[in-house]
Amino acid sequence: MIPRARLSAPSLFVGSGRARLGAFTLAVLAALTALGCKRPGAAAQTDGGVPDDAAAPPPAVQGQNAVPEPPPPPDKPLLGITAFVTTVYAEPRDTAKKLGYLRVGAKVARSEEPVGKAGCPGGWYEIHPKGFVCAGDEATTDLENPILKAAAKRPDLKAALPYRYAFVRAVLPLYVKVPTAKQQYDSEFKLQEHLDWYKQNEATVNQVVLGAPDVPIDDRGVPVPGKHIGEMGLGKNSQELALGQLLGGESDADPIPFWLEGGKRLIPNISDFKVPDFAVFADRARRHTGLSLIGSFPTGEDNLNRRFAITTDLRLAPNTKIKPDLGSPWHGLELTDEFSLPLAFVRTQGAKTYRISKGKAIPEVDVEWRSVHALAGTMKTVEGVKYYRTKDKRWLSQLDVGLAVPPASFPEDAEKGKKWIEISITNQTFVMWEGKRPIYATLVSTGKAGLDDPKKTTATVRGVFKIRNKHITATMDSNEGSSVGGAKVTTVAASHSPDGGGKAAAPKAGDKNAKPGGKPDPKAAAKGGKPAAKPAAAKPGAAKGKPAPAAGGAEKIPTKGDGEYGVTRRRGEGTFQLRDVPYIQYFESGYALHTAYWHDVFGTPRSHGCVNLSPVDAHRVFLWTDPPVPEGWHAVNAGEDFGEGTTVIVHE
């Protein structure tokens, strides 16, 4: 028998999309409760090296957001961040513990005067709510600094996606200044052929379907009941926006930014991919790379009338070679006293309800893919297959659904009334709990190796964990590796740091602090920004050349015939970057909860070990978990300074 719950609504349709999955079995938490709050085989410590119980989190808040630090006094002076990433230290020295980091353009309250200058000629400033930043190359007290103005657009934490996103449809250079027509022809292989193709297909290639930004959500990030996708009130949905807005601009005709006027670049190149000041571009982006954008602008005949999108590290991508992407609109649902566990999410297309008669299960009507149904708590086995009774007196096959059910017994955090997260690999379900009260449920995609050994395969690690650090965004390779999470980054040919271009230095084993790093490859670009090697031949709008496989056996880049790209095959797949993956929360080295803006198969094992959530769901979870990211910061480490992270329990 499935544990009973008070339910009234028989079913609910959540999100949209298509997927397939085979059989699975029901799992509960009973076996995990004995593990307590420590990870199997490891001392339970946060990134700060302190016990998990060193700082108790605030009481559960009935589904509300995590409570951030109080704002600073309004009369405090500000410190501006001028490097793409700047570390916050617990003490005024660069060997101290790392508390988190800030991104370019951020402005945070600071002390009136430096607290010291040891190892920092510009002075160490204490910032709000705590920690120290060195003024100099990475931060400034001059709020008129042009880099601060150029990077003034901040991530939107009220949105399911903090930036606008696009995928690269053909290999492109990432320009550091607005290129002339000649510079573009010199830098882009078979450019005229590509431009002819784009002119013929422009009307169709930039069309978008409604996605994650078009789901109405409240201040907690919870989808608003009764509102349909695209019902944005006074705002416009994505299909009503101009191309310039879809690529991060305020309008379709934004002017060329001040720092790019006259064909010059009036600010330094802040990407990790370093090139000489006279270079035209810094690095290339492969096909299917995901880009995060903060602006766009059109140009005139001297620049081939192309529009350029501005990336978060202030490089330029020509719009003819990128396509706006909105992520999946799929999302879970808020649980209430009227609609709660146990639930069944339909995970296969073509699923049906059944009538059970004389020892036979007789199929009846179709049920919507990823619809969710309240269960009555009754189960029957027919010819070796389990069937679950719904509140509206129908039967669903275990072959078609993933279950979210109350545990047989509760873990320690539940008994203490704390927040905790439960993830079932078998069911591909994800439930947020406050004490013994479930508040939100959804489908996820865990490691595609299922219940295999995580040390040898892409399976997701199982056990009891704590969130170690949280990042508003960070860049992952196509196998979901990122040095901010302590995993090896496997991207080849254009290996990148987790938060910018350039070749990343692999982190030392055990370095769990939230600080991206990396040294540039000085040989990566030749004089004038031209690559040392010629790019592969390309079809109009696409690249012919096949990339070398990534270390660890990365899959080939999807091509025509490999399935439906973005549905059965994920966007961004192969040996390249997924820039600014949103709402990342590491709970174990190399394993994180994070948005997957590149696929829409939630409910199917899909990842390389991380727990993939839809944009709406990942945003909801990020706002709720502890510790909250301080205002103006981009990432924070859990520990004695900001409190312990929320418990994450992953089980079969």
Give the residue numbers marked as catalytic.
594, 610
Compute the distance between CA of residue 509 and CA of residue 515 in angstroms, rounded to an integer: 14
Which residue shows structure tokens 């439960």?
Answer: 422
- How many other CB atoms are there within 10 angstroms of residue 563's CB atom? 12
Q: Tell me which H or E stretch contains 364.
A: strand 360-366
Q: Which residues contact 285 (CB under 8 A, 6 or more apart)?
A: 168, 171, 172, 174, 291, 317, 494, 576, 577
CB atoms within 10 A of CB 437: 15
Alpha helix segments (H runs only) across 159-308:
181-187, 191-205, 243-246
Smallest CA-to-CA distance from 583 within 610, 621, 609 is with 621
Distance CA(83)–CA(66), nearest Å, equals: 28
Nearest Cα neighbor of 172 from 204, 199, 194 is: 194
Whether cis (ω within 30° of 0) applies to the bond prior to 71 is no
> Angle at Cα 461 formed by Cα 456 and Cα 463, nearest 5°?
140
Question: ∠ CA 248-177-82 to the nearest 5 degrees?
Answer: 70
Q: Tell me the residue type at 162.
A: P
What tokens appear for 356 in the block? 């059970």
DSSP, residue by residue, 387-440: EEEETTS-EEETTTEEEE---SS--HHHHTT-EEEEEETTTTEEEEEETTEEEE
Q: Please state whether beta strands 395-397 and 352-357 pair in parallel, antiparallel, or not at all (unpaired).
A: antiparallel
CA distance 323 to 170: 10
State how far the Cα of 621 lies from the Cα of 612, in Å rounded to an integer. Answer: 12
Q: Report whether 438 contacts 6 (CB < 8 A).
A: no
For residue 208, is it left (φ>0), alpha (ψ between -120 and 50) or beta? beta
Q: Provide the CB-side half-sphere exposure for 513 (13 A, CA).
A: 19
Burial 548-559 (b: 16+ CB within 10 A, else e): eebbeebbebbe
Per DSSP (E only), the strands in 16-84 are 78-81
- The two tokens of residue 280 are 């035209």
Q: Name the helix (H) or strand (E) containing 293.
A: strand 290-297
Q: How far is CA 194 from CA 46, 180, 202, in A?
A: 50, 17, 11
Q: Is 214 exposed, middle or buried (0-12, 13-18, 19+ CB in 10 A)?
A: buried
Q: How many helices (H) and strands (E) does the chain have?
A: 7, 35
Enter the tokens of residue 573: 């797949």
Q: Do the beta carbons of residue 210 and residue 238 sit within 8 Å?
A: yes
CB contact at 8 A, 435 and 417: yes
Please tell me whether residue 525 adopts helix, strand or coil conformation. Answer: coil
